[in-house]
C-alpha cells in the first residue's frame, strides 16, 4: 500500500529537522571541554623529557595546557606540597619527614633515569676512566686533590693521569641529582655516610678550587669551561656532554665491576630493584646488586597531591600520567630513547597506575 499524499508531505517536513538534529549531535561539543592549566616545576633531569612529551600530548588534548619549568627537584617538591604547582618533578622521592608533614602527597615514578660522572681532562676525555664511590667521596671531601693521586691510578693502570689539581663541581640548588649522587657515595663509603650523608642539599666539604653550578645545564657548562674538572650530570644531557667532548666515567658497582651508563646496565640494575618496590614506590635504586648493574639509576618522580582543587584538574592529571607511563604513550622509545632513559617495567607501571587512580 502506497503512502498518501498527506503522509509524504508530513515526512518531508520532518526530514530537514531530523537532519539538523543528527548534524548537531555529530559536532563535538568543544564548549564542554574547558581549558585546564597545569604547572610542572622541578627536576632539570626530567625537564628535557617533559619538553618532548608536551607537544605530542597537547596535539590530542588541546584543552590541557601544561607549563614546565626547570627549577631543581627541591623546588619541585616544595612547590607541589604547598600547592603552587600541580606537578613537582623530582629525581628524589620525598623524605620521611616531608611524608609525615604532607601525608596527602603521592610519589609516582614516570620513567627510569641514570646519572653520569663526567670530566674534562685534556687528552683523556675519550677514555672511560674507572672511578669508584670511595674515590669520588675522597675528591668531594678534599682528601683526593690531584688527578694522579695513587687511589685514582690504582683504578686506571697504564693511564697517564695529569699532575694537576682536581676541580670538583657540585649543584648549588636543591637537586635530585645531588640526592642520588650522594646516595651512591653514602652507600659505598661509610665515612661519607657518617659525615656528609645524602639529600637534595648537603653541606659540601670546603674543597680548594671547587665550584658550584645550578641545574644540569649549568653543570655541563662548568665542566666544559674548566679543564681538569669533574661533575655529576643526568643522562638526559648525554647529547650535550658528547657535543662538548667531555669524558664519561665507568663507575664501580656493588659487585666490584666497572660499568658505563647504558640502557643495558640500567635495565640490569632495575631488574634487581623492581621486585623490592613498595606500593608507595618510594625506594632508592642506587648501588643495586649484580655484575652488570650500573650503580646510579633512579625513578623519575612526579610529586602530586592526591586531593586536587577541581575534578577537571584531577581528571587531566590522571589522564596525562596514565599516558606518560604507557609503553605506547610517553614511555614509548621515540620519547625515552631521546633522553637516554629506560621505560618503566610492567610491574612498576601497575604500581604507578594504582597511585594515579588516587588523584581526586
What pLDDT, on a 0 to 100 scale, did the predictor assign at position 5? 47
**What is the chain's alpha carbon radius of gyration, rounded to the nearest angstrom?**
26
152 CB neighbour count, 10 Å cutoff = 21
Tens-level pLDDT at each residue, the chain (360 residues): 444 444 444 443 444 544 444 444 444 444 456 899 999 999 999 999 999 999 999 999 999 999 999 999 999 999 999 999 999 999 999 999 999 999 999 999 999 999 999 999 999 999 999 999 999 999 999 999 999 999 999 999 999 999 999 999 999 999 999 999 999 999 999 999 999 999 999 999 999 999 999 999 999 999 999 999 999 999 999 999 999 999 999 999 999 999 999 999 999 999 999 999 999 999 999 999 999 999 999 999 999 999 999 999 999 999 999 999 999 999 999 999 999 999 999 999 999 999 999 999
What single-letter DSSP state applies at residue 120? -
**Interatomic CA distance for residues 17 and 309, integer angstroms:** 42
What pLDDT, on a 0 to 100 scale, did the predictor assign at position 264? 98
Walk me through the domains of the chain, giving residue ranges and CATH numbers. Answer: 37-112+299-356 (3.40.190.10), 115-276 (3.40.190.10)
**Interatomic CA distance for residues 52 and 47, integer angstroms:** 9
What pLDDT, on a 0 to 100 scale, did the predictor assign at position 29? 43
**Interatomic CA distance for residues 108 and 124, integer angstroms:** 39
- Judged by DSSP in three states, 153 sits in helix
160 CB neighbour count, 10 Å cutoff = 10
224 CB neighbour count, 10 Å cutoff = 18
What pLDDT, on a 0 to 100 scale, did the predictor assign at position 85? 96
Amino acid at each position: 500500500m502506497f503512502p498518501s499524499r498527506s503522509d509524504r508531505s508530513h515526512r518531508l517536513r520532518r526530514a530537514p529537522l531530523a537532519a539538523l538534529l543528527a548534524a548537531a549531535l555529530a559536532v563535538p561539543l568543544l564548549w564542554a571541554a574547558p581549558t585546564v592549566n597545569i604547572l610542572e616545576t622541578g627536576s632539570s633531569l626530567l625537564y628535557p623529557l617533559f619538553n618532548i612529551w608536551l607537544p605530542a600530548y597537547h596535539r590530542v588534548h588541546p584543552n590541557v595546557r601544561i607549563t614546565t619549568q626547570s627549577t631543581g627537584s627541591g623546588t619541585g617538591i616544595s612547590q607541589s606540597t604547598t600547592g603552587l604547582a600541580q606537578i613537582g618533578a623530582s629525581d628524589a622521592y620525598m623524605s620521611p619527614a616531608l611524608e609525615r608533614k604532607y601525608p596527602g602527597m603521592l610519589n609516582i615514578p614516570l620513567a627510569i633515569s641514570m646519572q653520569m660522572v663526567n670530566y674534562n681532562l685534556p687528552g683523556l676525555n675519550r677514555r672511560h676512566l674507572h672511578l669508584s664511590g670511595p674515590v669520588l667521596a675522597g675528591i668531594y671531601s678534599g682528601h683526593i686533590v690531584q688527578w694522579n693521586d695513587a687511589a685514582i691510578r690504582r683504578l686506571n693502570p697504564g693511564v697517564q693521569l695529569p699532575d694537576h689539581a682536581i676541580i670538583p663541581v657540585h649543584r648549588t640548588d636543591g637537586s635530585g641529582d645531588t640526592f642520588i649522587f650522594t646516595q651512591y657515595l653514602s652507600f659505598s663509603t661509610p665515612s661519607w655516610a657518617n659525615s656528609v650523608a645524602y639529600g637534595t642539599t648537603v653541606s659540601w666539604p670546603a674543597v680548594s678550587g671547587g665550584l658550584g653550578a645550578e641545574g644540569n645545564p649549568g653543570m655541563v657548562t662548568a665542566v666544559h669551561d674548566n679543564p681538569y674538572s669533574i661533575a655529576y650530570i643526568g643522562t638526559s644531557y648525554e647529547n650535550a656532554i658528547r657535543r662538548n667532548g667531555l669524558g664519561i666515567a665507568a663507575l664501580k658497582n656493588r659487585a666490584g665491576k666497572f660499568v658505563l651508563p647504558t640502557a643495558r646496565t640500567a635495565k640490569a640494575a632495575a631488574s634487581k630493584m623492581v621486585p623490592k618496590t613498595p606500593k608507595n614506590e618510594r625506594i632508592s635504586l642506587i648501588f643495586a646488586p649484580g655484575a652488570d648493574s650500573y650503580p646510579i639509576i633512579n625513578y623519575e618522580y612526579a610529586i602530586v597531591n592526591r586531593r586536587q582543587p577541581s575534578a577537571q584538574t584531577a581528571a587531566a592529571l590522571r589522564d596525562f600520567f596514565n599516558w606518560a607511563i604507557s609503553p605506547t604513550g610517553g614511555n614509548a622509545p621515540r620519547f625515552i630513547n631521546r633522553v637516554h632513559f629506560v621505560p618503566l617495567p610492567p610491574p612498576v607501571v601497575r604500581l604507578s597506575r594504582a597511585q594515579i587512580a588516587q588523584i581526586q
